[in-house]
């Protein structure tokens, strides 16, 4: 850790059990916390992606601390070091955990609360946002906008894992049938309940078009100059803009850190995010072009 940071771990009371919270506090917090100190509450992605994104989250926390801002992350119920098993997790529970995480940030003395949503976390953030008072801004990193498509890709991992092995090939249709009949399914070591599955499946950005009142900074990571922002994402942004939401979309060229099984960092994304945050601080530094 750098000299500007302090790590305060804690267990906070969630609605179903205790949740593990990590507060990356800037130096001299809470004494020097002012109204302009921003606290970013991080909403993680799903299953293995959550672990893969932790390094990037920590890097951002360190960069924030350096500028006198804070980051709080709370492991949703059934994940990380929080209580409960993954199999007991549900989508509604995670929305509540997201809201509780922002309450914790307020309890720590922060007045300016923002959300950083990573991948599937974006759909949680959209659902939680209307319940969060005075939400300052939302930051999306490679957001998932369609829960159904995301789940399909997740189920495909199970099918792909059986490739080249001498077992009967699974199909996504069969896996969905199992879920519908009330059974849990296990994908890459994560036991997904029908409740969680149906919650993610129903999650879609279009359910939240008229509920967003804060500015949104949307970051897309592209592997190379040849790749483009997915068309579905551009459509989602357009629809929000039609509703009057202020969207700042930026693309960053770098590796897909949420997919790599080796530790992979995209420092360009940290820089772009920090620029965006400091640029929009009333008392903060102005951007340099």
Partner 1 sequence: MSLQQETIQIIDDVLMLEGQVEHFNEDTGLLGSIPEFDSVAVVSLVTALEEEFGCAFDDDELNADVFATVGSLTKVLEQKLN
Q: Which residue stretches of 68-193 are H helix?
A: 91-107, 121-128, 147-161, 172-180
DSSP string, 80-93: TTSSS-GGG--HHH
Binder to partner 1 among 87, 159, 178, 279 (CB under 8 A)? Answer: 159
Residue 234 binding partner 1, by CB under 8 A:
no
Query: Interacting stretch for partner 1, rule CB under 8 A, among 2-10, 60-68, 149-157, 280-288?
Result: 149-157
Cα distances (Å, whole numbers) of residue 178 to 53, 92, 181: 30, 21, 5
Q: Which of 166, 162, 165 is nearest to 175 (CA)?
A: 162
Residue 1 binding partner 1, by CB under 8 A:
no
Q: Which of 237, 145, 157, 239 is nearest to 200 (CA)?
A: 145
- In the DSSP assignment, the letter for residue 228 is -
Is the Cβ of residue 130 or residue 255 nearer to partner 1 in the bound state?
255
- In the DSSP assignment, the letter for residue 271 is H
Is the Cβ of residue 1 or residue 260 nearer to partner 1 in the bound state?
260
Is the Cβ of residue 105 or residue 122 nearer to partner 1 in the bound state?
122
Q: How far is the CB of 270 from partner 1 (least distance, A)?
A: 18
Binder to partner 1 among 213, 223, 238, 263 (CB under 8 A)? Answer: 223
Binder to partner 1 among 36, 107, 134, 171 (CB under 8 A)? Answer: 171
Is the Cβ of residue 214 or residue 265 nearer to partner 1 in the bound state?
265
CA dihedral 216, 23, 142, 208 (to 10 degrees): -50
Is the Cβ of residue 86 or residue 150 nearer to partner 1 in the bound state?
150
Q: How far is the CB of 172 from partner 1 (least distance, A)?
A: 5
Q: Which residues, numbered 236-255, are part of the site for partner 1 (CB under 8 A)? A: 255
Q: How far is the CB of 156 from partner 1 (least distance, A)?
A: 5
User: Tokens in use for 235?
Assistant: 């459509």
Question: What Rg do the C-alpha atoms of the chain give, in angstroms?
Answer: 19
Q: How far is residue 163's CA from residue 101's CA, in Å, rounded to a whole number? A: 40
Q: Which of 287, 282, 288 is nearest to 38 (CA)?
A: 282
Q: How far is the CB of 232 from partner 1 (least distance, A)?
A: 9
Is the Cβ of residue 171 or residue 285 nearer to partner 1 in the bound state?
171
Q: Which residues bind partner 1 (CB under 8 A)?
A: 48, 153, 156-161, 163-164, 169-173, 188, 223-224, 226-227, 230-231, 255-256, 259-261, 264
């Amino acid at each position: 850790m750098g000299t500007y940071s302090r790590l305060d771990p804690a267990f906070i009371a969630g609605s179903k059990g205790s949740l593990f919270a990590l507060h990356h506090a800037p130096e001299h917090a809470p004494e020097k916390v002012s109204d302009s100190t921003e606290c970013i509450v991080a909403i993680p992605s799903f299953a293995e992606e959550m672990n893969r994104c932790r390094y990037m989250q920590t890097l951002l926390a360190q960069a924030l601390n350096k500028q006198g801002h804070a980051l709080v992350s709370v492991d949703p119920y059934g994940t990380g070091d929080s209580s409960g098993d993954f199999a007991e997790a549900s989508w509604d529970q995670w929305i509540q955990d997201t809201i509780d995480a922002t309450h914790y940030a307020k309890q720590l003395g922060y007045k300016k609360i923002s959300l950083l949503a990573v991948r599937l976390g974006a759909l949680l953030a959209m659902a939680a946002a209307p319940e969060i008072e005075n939400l300052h801004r939302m930051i999306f990193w490679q957001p998932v906008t369609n829960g159904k498509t995301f789940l399909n890709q997740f189920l495909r991992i199970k099918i792909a894992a059986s490739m080249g092995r001498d077992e009967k090939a699974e199909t996504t249709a069969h896996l969905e049938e199992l879920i519908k009949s009330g059974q849990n399914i296990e994908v890459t070591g994560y036991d997904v309940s029908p409740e969680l599955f149906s919650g993610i499946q129903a999650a879609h950005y279009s359910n939240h078009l008229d509920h967003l009142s804060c500015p949104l900074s949307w970051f897309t990571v592209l592997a190379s100059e040849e790749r483009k922002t997915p068309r579905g994402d551009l459509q989602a942004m357009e629809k929000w803009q039609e509703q009057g939401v202020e969207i700042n979309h930026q693309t960053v060229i770098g590796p897909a850190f949420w997919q790599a099984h080796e530790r992979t960092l995209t420092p360009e994304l940290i820089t772009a995010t920090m620029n965006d945050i400091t640029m929009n601080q009333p008392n903060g530094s102005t951007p340099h072009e």
